[in-house]
């Protein structure tokens, strides 16, 4: 598969996280000749937080993680690529239980300390024999790097995705590194695809959960590729505590704001990388909505624009068809007044107060749309609500990839 034209030049240098060991192996879930199973071994006492899909048809892995999350601690993470193990009934649940038991036996921990995520084709039970053989190979494998792990969790991704940030907490510099996979079936209503973030900061589970939920609201939950929410969407954050800071437990703690900002930064970087690898994407699109009656209303309008096939195909064709943006605003079901609405492309206002701007010259707008970084701004002039979401265009490549997905 060709590398996305929006991909960064190279995988970034991510700092190692003390208390985290990454290992990869080939379980053989599909015919590809690469690692497709990732194992992260975590120090005892590692705190965990998670956001998962709001799909009413979640995978057994999602259900397992939700139950395990109540305890707030983790010793391991297992990620399977190529098979989502979703809509697989008791066989799917049995596979997750077998995986957790296998890892728990190797690490002398409880199965509930093992978090599991899978991604790939829906409706095919995860083969337990391949999973167990892959786990045995991973446990015996040498320690892997971030890029190896990022590649091993991928499916239709065209490049490995990783990001990092640092923060000063209690006088100590703490590290945050994360990887993510995602390219299609992206319209998170919680988090997105599969994303895994690790930090050496000492953080209480409750505070870590709140920090992740807040970060998610303005990052993973603000991206879309195709409007489809997966059965398996999961983001997990693990905090090993190896940095030695006094554990963060409250918003008023020293360094709490810095940690939250750094975590949000990593989540935002990862979210943008997913959009940049949108199936068939050729343009990265930022949509800003201001002047809505509430932030929630602004978000719904922004997502209506971002998910519109007509808007996305117009951008793909470099067509400054702002009428399609008007359409998407109007269909969102949120308060909007036609005669107050204004629209801009690339900072150039094209419509104001419900009319095309007098003397409108489409040439500079067309020039903006020829680039690969597109900006659309809408001002409703109704209130103080605002939101930003990110998406990509819709091209023939998306159809080609998904028409052949199972073959």
30 labeled binding residue: no
Q: Are 286 and 189 within 8 A, CB to CB?
A: no
In a domain? residue 165: yes
Does residue 98 sit within a domain?
yes
Quote the pLDDT of residue 231. Answer: 67
Helix (H/G/I), strand (E/B), else coil: 308: coil
Confirm whether pTM is higher than 0.85.
yes
Please check whether residue 14 lies inside any domain of the structure.
Answer: no
Task: State how far the Cα of 82 lies from the Cα of 98, in Å rounded to an integer.
Answer: 18
Q: Are residues 323 and 373 in the same domain?
A: yes
Q: Per the domain annotation, does 238 fall within a domain?
A: yes
Q: Where are the beta strands (DSSP E) in 138-185?
A: 161-169, 172-181
In a 10 Å sphere around its CB, with 0-12 CB exposed, 13-18 middle and 19+ buried, how is residue 259 labelled?
A: buried
Residues 254, 293, single domain; the answer is no
Query: Pseudo-torsion of CA 249, 255, 256, 257, nearest 10°?
Result: 170
192 annotated binding-site participant: yes
Per-residue pLDDT at 339? 93
Q: Does an H or E element contain 284, and which? A: strand 284-292
Asked whether residue 48 is domain-assigned, the answer is: yes
Structural domains in the chain (count): 2
User: What confidence score (pLDDT) does residue 271 get?
Assistant: 94
Q: Annotated catalytic residue: which of 38, 52, 192, 219?
A: 192
Which residues touch 108 (CB under 8 Å, ≥6 apart)? none
Same domain, 176 and 36: yes
- Residues 72, 200 share a domain: yes
Do 248 and 337 lie in a common domain? no
Overall residue count recorded for the chain in this entry: 407
| C-alpha to C-alpha distances, 68 to 10, 22, 89, 194, nearest whole angstrom | 35, 21, 19, 17
Range of the domain at 370: 284-403
Same domain? For 190 and 55 the reply is: yes
Is 168 found in the same domain as 131? yes
Same domain for 323 and 249, yes or no, is no
CATH of the domain at 332: 3.10.20.340
Active site residue 199: no
Q: Which of 276, 296, 313 is the last residue of a domain?
A: 276
With respect to residue 5, please indicate whether it lies within any of the assigned structural domains. Answer: no
**Residue 122 belongs to domain with CATH number:** 3.60.70.12
2 carries a ligand binding annotation: no
**Is 279 annotated as ligand-binding?**
yes
Residue 204, marked binder: no
Report the C-alpha gap between 5 and 307 in whole angstroms. Answer: 21
The token duo for 38 is: 């990732």
Q: What is the pLDDT of residue 226?
A: 66
Residue 140 maps to a domain: yes
If asked whether residues 297 and 317 sit together in one domain, one would say yes
pLDDT string in tens for the chain (407-residue length): 689 999 999 999 999 999 999 999 999 999 889 999 999 999 999 999 999 987 778 889 999 999 999 999 999 999 999 998 988 889 999 999 999 999 999 999 999 999 999 998 889 999 999 999 999 999 999 999 999 999 999 988 999 999 999 999 999 999 999 999 976 555 555 444 799 999 999 999 999 999 999 999 999 999 988 665 556 789 999 999 999 999 999 999 999 999 999 999 999 999 999 999 987 789 999 999 999 999 999 999 999 999 999 999 999 999 988 899 999 999 999 999 999 999 999 999 999 998 999 988 989 999 999 999 999 999 999 999 999 999 999 887 666 666 665 54
Listed residues 216, 243, 276: the one ending a domain: 276
Last residue of a domain, one of 251, 276, 301: 276
Residues 172 and 27 in one domain: yes
Q: Is 173 known as a binding-site position?
A: no
Is 9 a member of any domain? no
Whether 137 and 201 share a structural domain: yes
Q: Give the pLDDT of residue 407.
A: 47
Shared-domain flag, residues 394 and 348:
yes
């Amino acid at each position: 598969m060709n590398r996305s034209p929006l991909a960064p030049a190279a995988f970034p240098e991510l700092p190692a996280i003390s208390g985290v060991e990454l290992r990869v192996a080939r379980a053989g879930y599909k015919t590809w000749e690469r690692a497709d199973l990732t194992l992260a071994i975590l120090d005892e006492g590692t705190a965990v937080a998670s956001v998962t899909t709001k799909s009413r048809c979640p995978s057994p892995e999602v259900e397992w993680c939700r139950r395990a999350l109540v305890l707030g601690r983790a010793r391991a993470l297992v990620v399977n690529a190529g098979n989502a193990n979703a809509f697989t009934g008791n066989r799917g649940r049995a596979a997750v239980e077998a995986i957790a038991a296998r890892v728990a036996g190797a690490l002398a921990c409880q199965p509930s300390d093992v978090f599991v995520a899978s991604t790939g084709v829906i409706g095919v039970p995860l083969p337990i024999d391949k999973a167990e053989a892959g786990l045995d190979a991973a446990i015996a494998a040498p320690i892997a790097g971030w890029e190896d792990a990022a590649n091993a969790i991928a499916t239709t991704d065209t490049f490995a995705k990783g990001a990092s940030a640092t923060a000063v907490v209690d006088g100590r510099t703490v590290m945050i590194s994360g990887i993510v996979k995602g390219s299609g079936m992206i319209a998170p209503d919680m988090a997105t695809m599969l994303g895994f973030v690790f930090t050496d900061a000492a953080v209480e589970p409750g505070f870590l959960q709140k920090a992740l939920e807040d970060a998610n609201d303005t990052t993973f939950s603000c991206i879309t590729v195709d409007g489809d929410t997966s059965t398996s969407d999961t983001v997990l954050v693990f905090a090993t505590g190896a940095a030695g800071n006094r554990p963060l437990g409250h918003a008023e703690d020293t360094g709490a704001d810095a940690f939250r900002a750094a975590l949000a930064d990593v989540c935002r970087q990862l979210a943008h990388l997913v959009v940049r690898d949108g199936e068939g994407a050729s343009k990265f699109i930022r949509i800003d909505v201001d002047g809505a009656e509430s932030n929630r209303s602004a978000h719904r309008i922004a997502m209506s624009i971002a998910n519109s096939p007509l808007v996305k195909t117009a951008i793909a064709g470099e067509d400054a068809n702002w009428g399609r943006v008007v359409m998407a605003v109007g269909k969102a079901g949120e308060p909007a007044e036609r005669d107050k609405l204004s629209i801009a492309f690339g900072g150039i206002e094209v419509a104001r107060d419900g009319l095309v701007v007098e003397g409108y010259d489409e040439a500079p707008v067309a020039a903006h749309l020829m680039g690969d970084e597109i900006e659309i701004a809408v001002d409703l002039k109704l209130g103080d609500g605002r939101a930003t979401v990110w998406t990509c265009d819709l091209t023939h490549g998306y159809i080609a990839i998904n028409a052949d997905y199972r073959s």
